[in-house]
Structure 1
């Protein structure tokens, strides 16, 4: 029977409809609790739930602040929209966060922010950003992953002449703390996105859908890996799960099903407002019982 890696649990605090100090409180608490190993933000420029005119923080700026206020947690953005920032700029931003954190960045990236969601789609017009079709978005993502990795690892300037991105004299200095580079988490569920994950991901995160759909997408990722000669087991399987404060048993059942399906990287989405001592509650009510099953 193959060895199943120990599940690794994290939290996600969507930086929208909340106050900065509330997010900071939760992350500082989580940083003291060994059962919680990673923490995440999301990447939306405007709210996608609740008051459409409510507050939303820019994810990478906030992540850098939280990195400076924590010491142990691995941290990242679930997932960065490749549509928002040119890849060379994103590589520089991510390098900065890896350095600020002392080498704790998990680099999450995806094709873009839920284009079918009307509250996500409005972000582009509101910020003067172009919105391209899905084929363009996934093709751009594949090139971005290549560019970012090269900027993190290559010791000489290079040119890149792609279909979606063109760089002249590209060079990254300083380099990230983590070598050869921070782990790359690719989020996506479409067939095209899974091909990008097969080529570039250290971790794959499946957004949306039930556990049955996640299992099917994971099997498709396996097939894509086989086609390019990559060991599917080299890609950690990650899944976000919503937390219910009122019915923790429901969340525990979802965690058990995810782990049983091979998803060992569990991201527990915390709804706001955050109760007092919520990170310790997660450890006691969700992680401890789930990890000991």
Structure 2
């Protein structure tokens, strides 16, 4: 059976707005997971509008829900050093009592007009995409080792270096929380094949999504991994005005093998939006 979740981008909204939707979704069994995104300046609406930092908000929402799997779709690996991210994620796994899914991505491409702006505004480096994908691969290795290693370790990669790294406490989920990696680039898919439990791709061009999924199968075969170990996830926007269009897109994606669906809810969010999603889209 397919699994459905909601995505609430925390921009141009307040904390109370997000909390209302997540609390409601937590009571709707048809919605199994809920997601934020990881941006530091708005990527839609007023450039000067409010935006809430993803991991801080995720921890607060994890503390006020009890059932939903929770995560960021997806964390930009450009923003936080991986050892720090592993510690942050471990705390959220404890706060949620073991409901975290670690969503990871290489970070926005330089070709996206708004992408560089948010990094420069926060004094963060912004390397080219090839470097960021290689850094993501190393970050996954370090995070996994921090979550599972019973002794301190060193890691000296090209992009990530740690000495005497050790994670304590370990996450609630054993051996570790699931890792979701988002993206469609070929280089990213190789990282997915090596590290991910779930792979998410933006919808819109289903033929391309299916082609990318087949490529992921080939990359798994190259390293001797069973491709069925990686759940295929797709992100689809919700239309409040034309739910039939969303239902059609969902049905086609599920039929094409995407068993994990993240539904993007445009703000402002109507009252009762989580129940509406269950009634009008999922059922």
TM-score by length of 2: 0.99
Spell out the pairing of 1:137-216 with structure 2 (5 A cutoff).
137-207=132-202, 209-216=204-211
Task: Give 1:88's aligned residue.
Answer: 83
Task: Give 2:262's aligned residue.
Answer: 267
Question: Structure 1 residue 209: deviation in Å?
Answer: 4.5
Q: Secondary structure at the match of 1:10?
A: strand
Task: Give 1:3's aligned residue.
Answer: none
Residues 36-85 of structure 1: CA deviation (Å, up to 9, x unaligned): 00000000000011101111111000000000000000000000000000
Task: Give 2:97's aligned residue.
Answer: 102
Task: Give 2:9's aligned residue.
Answer: 14
Unpaired stretches in structure 1, ≥5 consecutive residues: 1-5, 289-293
Instruction: Give the paired residue count.
Output: 283
Measured in 1, the distance between the counterparts of 2:101 and 2:111 equals 27
Task: Give 2:116's aligned residue.
Answer: 121
Q: Secondary structure at the match of 1:169?
A: strand
Query: How large is the Cα RMSD of the aligned pairs?
Result: 0.7
Measured in 1, the distance between the counterparts of 2:229 and 2:65 equals 29
Unpaired stretches in structure 2, ≥5 consecutive residues: none
Are positions 1:227 and 2:222 aligned together? Answer: yes
Measured in 1, the distance between the counterparts of 2:200 and 2:275 equals 25
CA contact (8 A) 1:81 1:111 kept: yes
Question: Structure 1 residue 208: deviation in Å?
Answer: 5.2
CA contact (8 A) 1:16 1:47 kept: yes
Question: Structure 1 residue 210: deviation in Å?
Answer: 1.1
Q: Secondary structure at the match of 1:271?
A: coil
TM-score by length of 1: 0.95
CA contact (8 A) 1:7 1:265 kept: yes
Q: Secondary structure at the match of 1:163?
A: coil
Moved over 6 A (4+): none
Question: Structure 1 residue 115: deviation in Å?
Answer: 2.9
